[in-house]
Structure 1
Amino acid sequence: MGAGTETGRDGQRAEGRGRSGAGAGVMARLLWLLRGLTLGAAPRRAVRGRAGGGEPCTGPVLGEAGSLATCELPLAKSEWQKKLTPEQFYVTREKGTEPPFSGIYLNNKEAGMYHCVCCDSPLFSSEKKYCSGTGWPSFSEAHGTSGSDESHTGILRRLDTSLGSARTEVVCKQCEAHLGHVFPDGPGPNGQRFCINSVALKFKPRKH
């Protein structure tokens, strides 16, 4: 067999190795990009169907066992205006406050659960509702509270300095609707008063 034939075969082998190496490089780059996308989405994962709700969802997320899951995107302000009444929109999306002693749930004594009017997340139980005399529905704690742990509730606390002094705003963990404020003058061991707007709530009676 001639030297030219051997040289030709060596060239073909080298070319084959070059092609396979290039293919492996492209595949590695694709895997790296996919890994970056999924890892970037993972911290925004929201667990729906629980009181906690997770962080507000922003699109495709990494689901259980690495599978790609989907969830609802946050609604635009125009969409909330279509979904809510003017009063509900003013309070929940523009951080307004209903007039005192005007709310439909102020004197409600029926047993049940108070849900977010925007996303239906359970927020407060009637068992923790009490009469504070302030003019708004008041609760001693959020549904799902364990001692001082609120990680399994449907609410979040945020600093509010809109009136020139520091207050603690209460928002829905699922959709970030403004609900009201919490003050350190309530009953019970925690001494809290969740002062919540009726218009931000949807009451569901307990089934007997």
Structure 2
Amino acid sequence: MADNDAKTDQQWREQLTPEQYHVLREKGTERAFTGAYWNTKTPGVYHCAGCGQELFESDVKFDSGCGWPSFYQALDAKRIDEHRDVSHGMIRTEVTCSRCGGHLGHVFNDGPAPTGLRYCINSVSVQLEKKKNEEAGETSGS
């Protein structure tokens, strides 16, 4: 269950960029093909931009052609909460961070095997922690 009462609205506004605030706290959406991660292939772990909780690994990211980062599996199902979303004249399943309640995007049943899921996530909702190069101790490039 989300602990989104831990911060005031003003604290969220101070911590997040205006676009992050709009998406994470007001359930907004960034424009397709504009986010920092929609086409990145950099290895690493995607964290919630609101609270830092680890959400997705780059190994499960795939190119769905939708213009947003897409993943076929969450790092741990307990880190993602699902909610029925009937906004915009359609029925969808919204996904939020289980720790802070931040809006991440939506999940659809048209993804690849093995799950058949497509977590369609706003780039501003997440931050990529690049995988360290184990031999050199350096961060991998994009």
Q: What is the TM-score normalised by the length of structure 1?
A: 0.62
Please give the per-residue CA displacement for 1:15-35, whole angstroms capped at 9, x wherever unaligned: xxxxxxxxxxxxxxxxxxxxx
1:199 corresponds in structure 2 to: 124
SS of corresponding position for 2:107: strand
Matched, 1:110 2:42: yes
Matched, 1:130 2:62: yes
SS of corresponding position for 1:194: strand
Residue correspondence of structure 1 range 85-164 to structure 2 within 5 A: 85-144=17-76, 150=77, 153-164=78-89
Q: 2-side partners of 1:56 and 1:193: how far apart?
A: 22
SS of corresponding position for 2:88: coil
Q: 2-side partners of 1:157 and 1:179: how far apart?
A: 10
Q: 2-side partners of 1:101 and 1:110: how far apart?
A: 17
CA contact (8 A) 1:110 1:205 kept: yes
| Identity of matched residues, % | 47
Please give the per-residue CA displacement for 1:147-192, whole angstroms capped at 9, x wherever unaligned: xxx2xx3111111111222110000000000000001110013211
Which letter maps to 2:117? Q
Select the structure with the greater relative contact order (CA < 8 A; seq sep ≥ 6): 2
CA contact (8 A) 2:63 2:70 kept: yes
CA contact (8 A) 2:37 2:69 kept: yes
SS of corresponding position for 2:89: coil
CA contact (8 A) 1:56 1:74 kept: no
Equivalent pairs, count: 133
Residue correspondence of structure 1 range 38-117 to structure 2 within 5 A: 55-57=1-3, 74-117=6-49
1:178 corresponds in structure 2 to: 103
Which letter maps to 1:140? Y
CA RMSD in angstroms comes to: 1.3
Could you list the runs of 5+ residues in structure 1 that have no partner in the other structure?
A: 1-54, 59-72, 145-149
Which letter maps to 1:171? T
Greater helix share, structure number: 1
Please give the per-residue CA displacement for 1:63-89, whole angstroms capped at 9, x wherever unaligned: xxxxxxxxxx52111110011000000
1:25 corresponds in structure 2 to: none
> Residues 133, 57 of structure 1: CA spacing in aligned structure 2 closer, same or farther, 3 A cutoff?
closer
